[in-house]
């Protein structure tokens, strides 16, 4: 079976404009949790997409060293 691996950087937002924007979109779509439940938004910045065997399929910055 196929699959991919992702190399990325994560940003966690528990308040602020990114958090408010995403929570607003979720509420508009009917998917938002109850406001009293603690929540966080995680934004992933994907730098590389690889096969399960490590072959690079796509890079944000070519030849990025890990």
**Could you give the count of Cα atoms lying within 13 Å of 7 in the half-sphere of its Cβ?**
17
- Its domain, for residue 16, covers 4-59
Q: Kindly tell me if the per-residue pLDDT of 15 is higher than 80.
A: yes
Q: Kindly tell me if the per-residue pLDDT of 1 is higher than 70.
A: no
> What's residue 57's pLDDT?
93
Give per-residue pLDDT as tens, 19-60: 999 988 988 998 876 767 788 999 999 999 999 999 999 999
pLDDT band at 17 (very low <50, low <70, confident <90, very high): very high
User: For the chain, what is the domain count?
Assistant: 1
CA end-to-end span of the chain, whole Å?
26
E-strand ranges in the chain read 4-13, 41-51, 56-59
> What's residue 33's pLDDT?
65
Query: To 5 degrees, how large is the angle CA 30–CA 33–CA 37?
Result: 165
pTM, entire model = 0.68
Is 18 domain-assigned? yes
Helix (H), strand (E) at residue 43: strand 41-51
């Amino acid at each position: 079976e196929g699959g991919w691996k992702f190399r990325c950087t994560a940003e966690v937002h528990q308040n602020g404009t990114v958090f408010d924007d995403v929570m607003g979109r979720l509420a508009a779509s009917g998917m938002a949790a109850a406001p009293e439940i603690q929540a966080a938004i995680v934004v992933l910045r994907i730098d590389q997409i690889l096969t399960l065997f490590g072959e690079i399929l796509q890079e944000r910055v070519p030849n990025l060293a890990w």
